[in-house]
Amino acid sequence: MDNLEFKEEYNLSKEEIVELLKSDGKKLFEIADKVRKHYVGDAVHLRGLIEFSNICKRNCLYCGIRALNDKVERYRLSEDDILDFAEHGMELGYKTIVLQSGEDDFFSRDKMCRIIEKIKKFDIALTLSIGERSYDDYKAFKNAGADRYLIRIETTDKDLYKKLHPNASFENRVECLYNLKELGYETGTGSLVGLPGQSVDSLADDILFFKKIDADMIGIGPLIPHPQTPLKGELKPANFDMALKVMAITRLMLKNINIPATTAMETINPNGRIIALQSGANVVMPNITQGKYKLKYEIYPNKASSDMDSLTYHNNIINKIKSIGRYVSLDKGFRNNSLI
């Protein structure tokens, strides 16, 4: 698609998406940046990420905190620590806190609701990313005050999904997304790019799926092989560019949504966040987990800046945002519906 140009509306066919995914991406990134500016402006929303448990009952083949990895030192934050970290995030100016964990049943419906209610006493938006739970759990979390939920579909290729997620169901993951939407969450999903056996065709299907469910947030991550997982040998440097292209096309198709420049992008490319912010992204999710825990939430190795204290890391990110003429948003950064 050499003739790609700025438009207010894109309804790309699968063939057109595939063509863009096979292009060098240069024009695509430029146009995605324009669409981002038109629909969500120059503000960058910061979401403070707290990784509160690395205990997980699942065995996703790519993930460093999978249950079968017995080399991970497991931890669970206490409720007090979670609240302290959230308060620290607020003091740094974060308007959104994201609570993420492995699928850890220790955090029962009641425990989660208690934590949510306490965090929501602060004037901040709260995002959860704790995996597949029942409709009633999601409903209780929403009633307790949670605003948003992130649960990546990872891949829409059902056969590949099955291979990568033992004892898990693609259909249930999709149902979780529909339940979250029905309950009124701002709902985020996304995919991994560079999975073994993943085709450009299936990446195009992922983008069409995001459009079909009208996701409010999309996070795209290049796969970063973890040495203690079955996918340890799958490192492909080209994953960065391909993930960037998936992200940029998503911006064209879902123009006003929130799209993070993901930590995984920064991890495989030292300038990854800035490049992503200039190719369609408008969100950054700095890790505000403190102390020793930050290093232990090792879903993939050498996570960008995981060895930095949260203040230094925070200031670095703000300086990077300013260096490209963008600014940090002062509001909670819900999906911007004002232009559509």
Q: What is the contact surface with ligand SAM in residues (CB under 6 A)?
A: 62-63, 100, 102-103, 129-131, 151-152, 154, 192, 221, 223-224, 226, 264, 299-300
Q: Please, which residue, 289 or 329, has the CB nearer to ligand SAM?
A: 289
CB-CB contact of 121 with 143 (8 Å): no
Q: Please, which residue, 33 or 104, has the CB nearer to ligand SAM?
A: 104
- Tell me how far the alpha carbon of residue 329 is from its chain's centroid: 18
Q: Please, which residue, 267 or 329, has the CB nearer to ligand SAM?
A: 267
Give the pair of three-digit tokens for residue 110. 């009641």
CA dist 91 → 87, 88, 123, 288, 333 (Å): 6, 5, 11, 11, 18
Shortest spacing between CB 109 and ligand SAM, in angstroms: 16
Q: Please, which residue, 10 or 185, has the CB nearer to ligand SAM?
A: 185
Phi, psi of 62, deg, nearest 5: -95, -15
Shortest spacing between CB 253 and ligand SAM, in angstroms: 20
Q: What is the rounded distance in angstroms from the CA atom of residue 321 to the CA atom of residue 76?
A: 32
Q: Please, which residue, 33 or 154, has the CB nearer to ligand SAM?
A: 154
- Terminus-to-terminus CA distance in the chain, angstroms? 25
Spatial CA neighbour of 86 closest among 119, 53, 128, 111: 119
| Sign for the pseudo-dihedral over CA of 14, 15, 21, 26 | negative
Shortest spacing between CB 283 and ligand SAM, in angstroms: 15
Q: Please, which residue, 156 or 329, has the CB nearer to ligand SAM?
A: 156
Shortest spacing between CB 226 and ligand SAM, in angstroms: 5
Q: Please, which residue, 263 or 329, has the CB nearer to ligand SAM?
A: 263
Shortest spacing between CB 281 and ligand SAM, in angstroms: 16
CB-CB contact of 279 with 247 (8 Å): yes
CA dist 286 → 117, 174, 223, 283 (Å): 23, 27, 19, 10
* DSSP notation for 133-193: --HHHHHHHHHHT--EEE---B-S-HHHHHHHSTT--HHHHHHHHHHHHHTT-EEEEEEEE
Shortest spacing between CB 247 and ligand SAM, in angstroms: 14
Phi, psi of 208, deg, nearest 5: -65, -35
Shortest spacing between CB 222 and ligand SAM, in angstroms: 7
Shortest spacing between CB 292 and ligand SAM, in angstroms: 18
Q: Please, which residue, 195 or 277, has the CB nearer to ligand SAM?
A: 195
Shortest spacing between CB 51 and ligand SAM, in angstroms: 8
CA dist 79 → 111, 113, 297 (Å): 9, 11, 17
Q: Please, which residue, 221 or 333, has the CB nearer to ligand SAM?
A: 221
Phi, psi of 101, deg, nearest 5: -160, 170
